[in-house]
Structure 1
Amino acid sequence: MILTADVLENAFVRLEPFEPSMRAEVRSALDCDPDSWGGMVAAAYGPHFDGWWTAAMAAMCAGSRIPWAVRRQSDGAVIGTTSLYEIRPEHRRCEVGSTFYRPETRGGPVNPACKRLLLDHAFAAGAVRVEIITDTLNPASQAAIRKLGARDEGVLARHKITWTGRIRDTAQFAILDLDWPKVRQLLDDRIAGFSES
């Protein structure tokens, strides 16, 4: 499995790998909705952005993460970020996550459009397993992951410590290469529904 930092795009979003020139745009996109950052392991809004950006760029250089800015196709605005991370080529697995979208874009085509691109990129590169995890206190996120068709693998108790110091239980999900054709069709159908409306 060799994952590359490519631009990925479809009718709704363009995913652009982080580069220094987009730092201000990404900062602007993430500098909102402090309550949504509460369950995250790391925060990236306001005063937390610089450390988060530096860590994301370092992980990208190390090959353990590919962070993308999410650009909306309709107006060219950067509306969030998402990543493939915990990249483990020797096990042909990675995680999709570190995802944040501006509040006004949630519930529409952005998340399924991004997941379609990221999952296709990972499985085309030879992944056999893509994990998606979230805080057990975030039922909306869990519902969105289930809607993708991911396997519910249970809860990892006391799994991570958030930036606020809270010990977090993590709900773990996965999509396997064996699942990808069905999941891809589900995503394509959802995205087509947005295209028709």
Structure 2
Amino acid sequence: MRMELQAIPLEDRFVRLEPLSEALRSEMQAALDCDQPAWDIMVAAAYGPYFDGWWASAMSAMEQGTRIPWAVRRKSDNALVGTTSLYEIKPDYRRCEIGSTFYRPEARGGPVNPACKRLLLGHAFDAGAVRIEIITDATNPGSQAAIRKLGARDEGVLLKHKITFTGRIRDTAQFAILDDDWPEVRARLDARLAAF
């Protein structure tokens, strides 16, 4: 059995995830052009002068089938508030990562992130995934806490794992959710979202 991920819209009552397309380019650029300090700890940036390179890379990876990048649209006001992806897609190994995620500051701390994670995890496990990884900068305790809150397994730190667009050599905190974990993680996410 192979994992068969599709670049399709995903939605719940909080967000609509729309696969990137040329029609979304200018709206996506406007949504990501903010909060430079948040971008500065990421591997790649998409604000200001970095947007064109980020966009080209995302679209190329989507064409190659190694990444599905989505625009995140908040349904309460129809605003495009960020981006998230399934990437490092390995169909034969039934594995992928959730990441390349950025939300505008006003979209953080509410239902947007748990809603996106619920949709992406459900989409990947329904497609046959047995392992979904979530990684973050080892210097980002807030992101690590959010990943732990999902119920992901903490698998440690990969030293000198990536080099960011600023040239910094990054250590990466690695987490995973296995298909065995999904029922509990799903129930936890559903309970969180029911509270909004």
Aligned to 2:175: 173
Deviations 1:99-126 (A, max 9, x none): 0000011111000000000000000000
In structure 2, how many angstroms separate the alpha carbons of the residues matched to 1:67 and 1:105?
18
User: Shift in Å at residue 38 of structure 1?
Assistant: 1.3
Distance 1:156 1:52 in 2: 24
Q: CA RMSD in A?
A: 0.4
Using the alignment, how far apart are the partners of 1:140 and 1:54 within structure 2?
A: 29
Matched with 2:77 is 75
Q: Tell me which amino acid in the other structure corresponds to 2:156.
A: G
One-letter amino acid matched to 2:195: G
Give the paired residue count. Answer: 194
From 122, 126, 129, the counterpart of 1:127:
129
* 1:12 aligned residue: 14
In 2, Cα distance between the equivalents of 1:102 and 1:171?
Answer: 23
- 2:103 maps to 101
User: Could you tell me how far 1:39 is from its partner in structure 2?
Assistant: 1.4
Give secondary structure in 2 for the equivalent of 1:174.
strand
- Name the residue aligned to 1:58: 60
Shift of 1:51: 0.5
Q: Give the superposition deviation at 1:25.
A: 0.7
The CA deviation at 1:142 is 0.3
Q: Which residue pairs with 1:29 in the alignment?
A: 31
Q: Distance in 1 between matches of 2:61 and 2:187?
A: 32
Distance in 2, matches of 1:43 and 1:30, equals: 9
The Cα of 1:131 is off from its aligned counterpart by 0.1
State the partner residue of 1:2.
4
Kindly provide the CA deviation profile for residues 27-79 of structure 1, in whole angstroms up to 9, marking residues without a partner as x.
01100000001111110000000010000000000000000000000111100
Task: For residue 61 of structure 1, give the secondary structure of its aligned residue in structure 2.
Answer: helix
Structure 2 unaligned regions, length at least 5: none
Aligned residue for 2:4, secondary structure, equals coil
Counterparts of 1:189 and 1:110, CA distance in 2: 14
After TM superposition, the score normalised by the length of structure 1 is: 0.98
Write the distance in 2 (CA, Å) between the matches of 1:160 and 1:55: 17
Query: For each residue in 1:80-102, what CA deviation from the matched residue of structure 2 results, as whole angstroms up to 9, or x when unmatched?
Result: 00000000001000000000000
Q: TM-score, normalised by structure 2?
A: 0.98
Q: Which residue of 1 aligns with 2:159?
A: 157
1:135-161 Cα deviation digits (max 9, x unpaired): 011000000000000000000000000
* Over 6 Å off, 4+ runs: none
> Partner residue of 2:94?
92
SS of structure 2 residue aligned to 1:59: helix
